[in-house]
Structure 1
C-alpha cells in the first residue's frame, strides 16, 4: 500500500528529474522498485538542494552572546532581582493573589459582554498580605510592572507577579483589625483590544 499514492510518487520523481542534470533511462521494473521504496525515503526535507553542513558554526539560535564584555544582558535579569537579599533574616509574610473582574447583571444573567470565569476576562489583581503586629506607617511598598516589593521592620516580601500590571494605577489599603494589607492592581494585557468570543 502506497503512503503517498502512485501519482504523488511519480510527480516527485518527475520533479526530481527536472531538477537534476542527469537523465536516467530505467526499465519499468526499476521504476516499480523505486516507487515502493520512495514512500519511506522521501519527505518534506528532500525537496530542494541538499543542506550545507558547516561544522565550524555550532551556535545555538536560542542564545547568542553579544561581542561585549558584559556577562549577561538586561533581558536575562528578572525584574525585581535588585531587591533580593539572601542575608536578610526577615520572614516572608503569608499572601494570597486573587484575580478580579467587573461583572454586572447583564454579564451574569444574559452573558451579553462575552465574559467568562476564566482569568482571560479579569481586569484586576488583588494581593492580600497578612502582616501581624504591624502598623500602616511601618509599611513601605514599591510596585513595578511585574514585581511587588513590600518591606516592614518585621517582614520582607519580594513577589514576582503572575501578570504584568499598570504600576502607576492601583491602590493599597491597610486593615488594622485584620492586620492585613490589600493591594489592588490593574492588569496590563497587551491583547485587550481583541475581543475573544
Structure 2
C-alpha cells in the first residue's frame, strides 16, 4: 500500500514539474501557439466526431432539386400542415390523449400474453375532446394516419398524433351530457405482424 502512495506522489511531483516548466518557458511565442491551438479546438463540435460525411449523397440530392421545378418534396412537409390557418380566430378546445390496451384475467393474474403496462403493448388511442356549446351535427372530423382535424362553428383542432393509426378503423361518439367527443383510433404498431400464442 505504501509503495502505491509513494509512486502516486512521485507522479504528482513529475506532473507539477512539467507544468511549471511549460509556464516558465519562452513566454510570448508559446502563448501565441497555445492560443491558436485552443481556438482551433474551440471551433470543433459534436459533428466533427467520426468519419467525414460522404459528399456523393449531398451532390445527388442537390442535383435532383436543381432539375426539379418543385419547391419542396412531399416528405419534407408535415402531415396536416394544409389545415393550419393562422387567420382562423377559433380557439383550440381542451383535449386528452389516453392509450388503451385490452387486458383479460389471463393477463392480470397469469401474465400469459406477455403484455406489460408500457405504451408498446397498447392497441388503441382514445382522444377526449371537450366541446362546450356544441352539437353532434356541428362536428366535422377528418382523421389521417398521423393527424386529426376537428372543426365546429366555435372550435378548431389540428392535432398531430403521437403514434400512427389505422385511419379507416376508428370510431367516434359524442356525449351531449358531458359535451365531449371521444374518438377511438386503432394504433398501427411495428409489432402487429407478430402473433403471440
TM-based fold match above 0.5? yes
Extract unaligned runs of 5+ from structure 1: 1-50
Q: Indicate the structure with greater helix content.
A: 2
| Deviation of 1:59 (Å) | 6.9
TM-score (norm 1): 0.67
| 1:124 paired residue number | 124
Q: Distance in 1 between matches of 2:77 and 2:119?
A: 27
Q: Find the aligned partners of 2:130 and 2:194 in 1 and give their Cα distance.
A: 37
Per-residue deviation, 1:58: 5.2
Task: Give unmatched runs, 5+ long, in structure 2.
Answer: 1-50
Aligned pairs, number: 142
- Residue of structure 1 equivalent to 2:193: 193
Structure 1 residues 195 and 118: alpha-carbon distance in aligned structure 2, compared to 1, 3 A threshold: farther
Q: Distance in 1 between matches of 2:190 and 2:112?
A: 23
Task: Name the residue aligned to 1:64.
Answer: 61
CA distance in 2, matches of 1:154, 1:62: 49
- Cα 1:59/1:132, change in 2 over 3 Å: farther
Counterpart CA distance in 2 for 1:188 and 1:61 is 33
Q: CA deviation at 1:70?
A: 1.3
CA displacement 1:5-51 (0-9 Å, x = unmatched): xxxxxxxxxxxxxxxxxxxxxxxxxxxxxxxxxxxxxxxxxxxxxx9
Q: Equivalent residues in 2 for 1:85-100 (5 A)?
A: 85-100=85-100
- CA deviations 1:52-94 (Å, max 9, x no partner) are x9xxx95774993423121110000111111110000000000
